[in-house]
Structure 1
Amino acid sequence: MGAAQGDDQDEWSFLFGMLMDDATKRGLAHDELYFLSDELLRFSLAYQGYEPLLEAVADGELSRLRFMHEIWRAMPEHFYVDLALKLGAELLAARQ
């Protein structure tokens, strides 16, 4: 949480991106140099959404570090769902 009680998700994404770049420069797998716990992944998933990203980690298609970078790059999933529902309701109301 930031000083204004925001989540500073741009900062989180940037910092996890820096860790990914560092591992890449060292020629190491992302998860080899930096360990991110299951608890941290679940916390981020609970806050941001995007279940398919966690499934990709479980399937070995996505590193934990890439997961953290990607999940914090976008607004929380529920933000987009809520926005779409609100816009849809407004469009339907405008048609009547």
Structure 2
Amino acid sequence: MLLGPALGPASRDILSDWMSRGGVTGALIRDALPADRHVADKSGAGNGYTRSLVAMVTPPDRAPWFVAIYISDTPTDFATRNAELMRIGETVADVLLSR
């Protein structure tokens, strides 16, 4: 939706702005990336001990990378799942920065 024709340019800009603020998701992958990477992301959690993050990471002057991290059926508390999602996000950031 951030890149394709499903939304008009103004709607894409609004969605990108909403997903770029990082109020909830700031520490999940954004903190592991340099400030010059634009990150538009969305996190989720729910029944079944789930925690997730989808993100579009755009380096300067390059096409974006898309990231999806999903943890499920992990009978731990939210804080533990969140910490694991941050750890996975850091690993993903390391891979993206090596490219």
**Normalization by structure 2: what TM-score?**
0.30
The structure in which a higher percent of residues are strand is: 2
Higher helix share: 1
TM-score (norm 1): 0.31
Higher relative contact order (CA 8 A, sep 6+): 1
Which structure has the larger Rg? Answer: 1
